[in-house]
Amino acid sequence: MCVGVPAKVIEKKDYTALVDVMGTRMEVGILFVPEVQTGEYVIVHAGQGMSIVDRDFARASINEWEKMAHANVI
């Protein structure tokens, strides 16, 4: 199973971007989404921005990730 997380683009360079994933910043490749702009959201998988998603989808997805991160699993 592949899992991608939404990330907000903070700074764009030629082939990489600095993104924020739920408060953690990291650099990811943007070869698959070279048209992405600062402030937009991308789905990140294996260190690569895979697709651009709209803000509402990204926020809803982040909300679900946060629920899973804080779930009490026994």
* Whether pLDDT at 73 is above 70: no
Cα 62–Cα 66–Cα 72 angle in degrees, nearest 5:
155
Tell me which residue has tokens 């997380």: 5
- The overall average pLDDT reported for the chain is 92
Q: Which domains does the chain have, with CATH numbers?
A: 5-69 (2.30.30.140)
State whether residue 24 is helix, strand or coil. strand
Query: What pTM does this model have?
Result: 0.86
Q: What is the pLDDT of residues 26-61, one digit of tens each?
A: 999 999 999 999 999 999 999 999 999 999 999 999
